[in-house]
Amino acid sequence: MEQTLLGGRYQILRRLGSGGFSRTFLVSDLHLPNHPRCVIKQLKVQDKDTGTLDMARRLFGTEARVLYQLGNHPQIPALLAHFEEKREFYLAQEYIEGSRLSRQIEEGKPWSETRVVLLLQEVLEILAFVHRQQVIHRDIKPSNLIRRHRDGKLVLIDFGAVKQVSTSPLMDAETGATNLTVAIGTHGYMPNEQYAGKPRFSSDVYAVGILGIRALTGIAPQKLDEDPVTSELDWRKQAPSVSSSLAHVLDMMVRYDFRDRYPTAQEALEALQNLPNSCQGLIGNHIYQTWMKGAHGLKPMLSGSLAEATEVDEASELTAVIKDPDSTSLFPLDAGFTNGHSPEGVLPQATSSSQRVNRLGFWRRPTVMASLVGVGMLAVALWQSGLTVAFEPKTSDGMVAFQSADPPDLALNLGMLLPPAEKVVFLTDQGDSLLKKGRYPDALGLYDEAIQIKSDHAPAYLGRCKTLIALKRPSEAIVACDDALAYSAYYPDAVRSKGNAEEQQGRLLAALALYEQTNQKMPAMSQAWVDRGRVLQKLGRSAEAIEAIERAIAYDRDSVEAWTVRGEATLALKRYEQSILALEKALQLDPDHEPAIALRQQVRQALGR
């Protein structure tokens, strides 16, 4: 088999993993320039009778559809292709170079509370996106989370056990329960209802809570005691110093009865972000930046050559595992500095309070010059150390909100030292962050710089398209979106953004066609349904607009725009009571939403109120 090209294009380099139902291989794609590496997952079908093959096709087809749907998220591997060959089934997926979280969460080595909060937040942010696409992962565990080398971010892998609840005719709309009758998951991370074959969104929340408890206590979930009366996990005695607020959130995540848990990852994330001492106010919510170990002085070196990839005996592992698990590791930057000593010998011991490193990596400063010198020394030390840095505010009393220092410049300056391939990703991510903050000219500059380095980097063109739309330059935006689609054929977000640009120019039928195309490519993208409904309403097709908006609300009930458009469409059809209800819902979500306020006033006038 090693001498055969899979799918006529993939040359096997080595086996990466093997489990009960699948094998994974590191391969080269001979159809693309420079023969880039990717990972092939092969479904192992033991019994090849017609019934078994049909079932295998359905399972693999489901996984492929979900991966296509989710793969545009930057922390979920993209699906490159899927095919059947000689009654064998294959997925070709993005190659993720990094270290599994299971190598960092070690038995008997509990993490700090700050570190656990950051981990939970990052995992829940990814999972909230997954749940918004109406997908239950069902196998959240440390080995399915990869700390990616190029940027230090977590990547969620292995969607072989997913359940797409939006396609289930027997789904309970209130609870998210499905009609699945087979228990799939990992012992210790599976809640009661998942064992019974009835997973919910809150089943994933349970698994993330167990992940946090494992990191906080250093104890495997199978070894945690249960209350003999309530069946609740009795874990707090293993972490006696944990704050009551974090302990409460974790307890809510791992309740025995699914009805007592946070219903989806989004609610759990919001609870975590509302902790009294949460890590808020950083760039986004936190910054992860990875520095690889240097070969010569300060020169970074990419880890994970082919010789370093090693086979793992674990099913559905869609990543190469690097032999050196410490080449990236999460390191709370301020740990130890409040006590006047440096962690793990990375930085020299502080000699006075004015020289200690503060929470965000700046020297406490008697002068501006001392601050700048501290930043430079810190950057050099971190680069040499090969550690992943988590910039996290913290005091000896616990975590506090960032209030004064300005980390973006530090992060940007450190990012500029990355090798070109990593720098392109870094610049695009920074551009996305600035775009969300409304700093459009700055974002545009970073996207342009990324494109100068790598002229076929589709995400930078998409960012450029969105920024130009925000700047009311739709004709230029269309060119940027076309460039993104030229370099990435399957890019629903670029299709939708091009529709936004066409709509901005008043070309409503062209925009509608693009929104419909987006709906076909990625049905779970709720905003594309909102866009479609909005344009249909502009065209006077109110009944069709309501149908589109109903689809949008089914995926995202908290979309202010969706409820507002519904209110406008029902008003046009003189369904006044329905219109009032929709607009009240919009204003419940955002009391200051001016379009909803104006429409509600129109409805009241029509009703004589």
Q: In this predicted model, what pLDDT tens digit does every residue of 160-169 receive, in sequence order? A: 655 545 333 3
Q: Quick one: what percent of the chain has pLDDT higher than 70?
A: 70
Residue 154 lies in a domain: yes
533 Cβ partners below 8 Å, 6+ apart? 545, 546, 547, 548, 549, 552, 562, 565, 566, 569
Model confidence at 69, pLDDT cuts 50, 70, 90, reads: confident
Per-residue pLDDT at 413: 53
83 and 104 inside one domain: no
pLDDT at 394 over 70: no
The answer to whether 47 touches 58, Cβ cutoff 8 Å, is no
* Four-CA torsion 427, 432, 436, 441, nearest 10 degrees: 50
Residue 79 lies in a domain: yes
* Four-CA torsion 33, 35, 41, 42, nearest 10 degrees: 100
Residue 64 lies in a domain: yes
Q: 377, 403, 429: which is the final residue of a domain?
A: 403
pLDDT in tens, 103-122: 888 888 899 888 899 999 99
* Tokens 């060119």, located at residue: 479
CA distance 122 to 412: 20
20 Cβ partners below 8 Å, 6+ apart? 44, 315
- DSSP result, 154-218: EEE---TT-EEGGG-TT--TTT------S--S-TTT--HHHHTT---HHHHHHHHHHHHHHHHH-
pLDDT at 561 over 70: yes
pLDDT in tens, 225-240: 888 888 899 999 999 8
- Across the range 97-108, mean pLDDT stands at 86
> DSSP secondary-structure letter at 337?
G
* Tokens 């656990």, located at residue: 116
367 and 348 inside one domain: yes
Nearest 5°: CA angle at 596, between 591 and 598?
A: 110
118 and 23 inside one domain: no
pLDDT at 91 over 70: yes
The answer to whether 571 touches 599, Cβ cutoff 8 Å, is yes
- Residue 484: which CATH number? 1.25.40.10
417 vs 95, residue with greater confidence: 95
- Residue 117: which CATH number? 1.10.510.10
Q: 368, 403, 438: which is the final residue of a domain?
A: 403
Q: Which of 468, 504, 505 has its CA nearest to residue 483?
A: 468
- Give the active site residues: 139
107 and 253 inside one domain: yes
131 and 263 inside one domain: yes
pLDDT in tens, 325-376: 322 222 223 222 333 333 333 333 333 333 333 333 332 333 333 333 444 4
- Residue 68: which CATH number? 3.30.200.20
Residue 567 lies in a domain: yes
Per-residue pLDDT at 98: 85
128 and 208 inside one domain: yes
pLDDT at 557 over 80: yes
Model confidence at 85, pLDDT cuts 50, 70, 90, reads: confident
> DSSP secondary-structure letter at 367?
S
**pTM for the complete prediction?**
0.51
The answer to whether 466 touches 450, Cβ cutoff 8 Å, is no
Model confidence at 276, pLDDT cuts 50, 70, 90, reads: confident
Average pLDDT of the chain, as a whole number: 75
118 and 259 inside one domain: yes
Q: How many residues belong to the chain?
A: 609
Residue 494 lies in a domain: yes
**Residue-number span of the structural domain to which 501 is assigned:** 419-505
- Across the range 50-73, mean pLDDT stands at 76
Q: Which of 551, 529, 533 has its CA nearest to residue 543?
A: 533
Residue 316 lies in a domain: no
269 and 360 inside one domain: no
* Least-confidence region, from 207-216, 253-262, 274-283, 579-588: 274-283
334 and 449 inside one domain: no
**Phi and psi torsions of 310, nearest 5°:** -130, 155
* Least-confidence region, from 69-73, 213-217, 327-331: 327-331
| Mean pLDDT comparison of 45-49, 239-243, 486-490, highest-scoring range | 239-243
Model confidence at 389, pLDDT cuts 50, 70, 90, reads: very low
Model confidence at 48, pLDDT cuts 50, 70, 90, reads: low
CA distance 428 to 436: 12
283 vs 414, residue with greater confidence: 414
Helix axes 113-132, 201-217, angle to 10 degrees: 170
250 and 113 inside one domain: yes
250 and 228 inside one domain: yes
169 vs 543, residue with greater confidence: 543
Residue 23 lies in a domain: yes
The answer to whether 375 touches 408, Cβ cutoff 8 Å, is no
The answer to whether 255 touches 232, Cβ cutoff 8 Å, is yes
205 and 254 inside one domain: yes
Which amino acid, 413?
N
49 vs 225, residue with greater confidence: 225
Residue 301 lies in a domain: no
| Mean pLDDT comparison of 144-158, 276-290, 513-527, 560-574, highest-scoring range | 560-574
Q: 372, 403, 434: which is the final residue of a domain?
A: 403
Q: Which of 422, 430, 439, 500 has its CA nearest to residue 465?
A: 500
Per-residue pLDDT at 464: 96
Specify the number of domains making up the chain.
5
